[in-house]
């Protein structure tokens, strides 16, 4: 039973750290940069750009 609790705590900690990093990236304006790069890559793969 103790192992399951440790695993759940580790999963929760990693989830919170990931959410914090995601929030920090959005706060810095990285989302627009990532989206523009993704659009360019998509267009290159299709052959339009």
Which value, to the nearest 10 degrees, does the dihedral of the CA atoms of residues 19, 38, 45, 40 take?
-170
pLDDT in tens, 1-49: 567 799 999 999 999 999 999 999 999 999 999 999 999 998 888 887 6
The domain segmentation of the chain, as residue ranges, is 2-46
Q: pTM above the 0.95 mark?
A: no
Say how far apart CA 36 and CA 49 lie, in whole Å.
Answer: 13
What integer pLDDT is reported at residue 2 of this predicted model?
64
Give the angle subtended at the CA of 33 by the CAs of 32 and 39, to the nearest 5°: 85
Query: In this structure, are residues 43 and 49 in contact, taking their beta carbons and an 8 Å threshold?
Result: yes
């Amino acid at each position: 039973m103790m192992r399951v609790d440790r695993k759940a705590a580790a999963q929760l900690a990693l989830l919170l750290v990931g959410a914090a990093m995601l929030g920090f990236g959005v706060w810095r304006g990285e989302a627009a940069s990532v989206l523009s790069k993704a659009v360019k890559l998509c267009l290159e793969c299709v052959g339009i750009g």
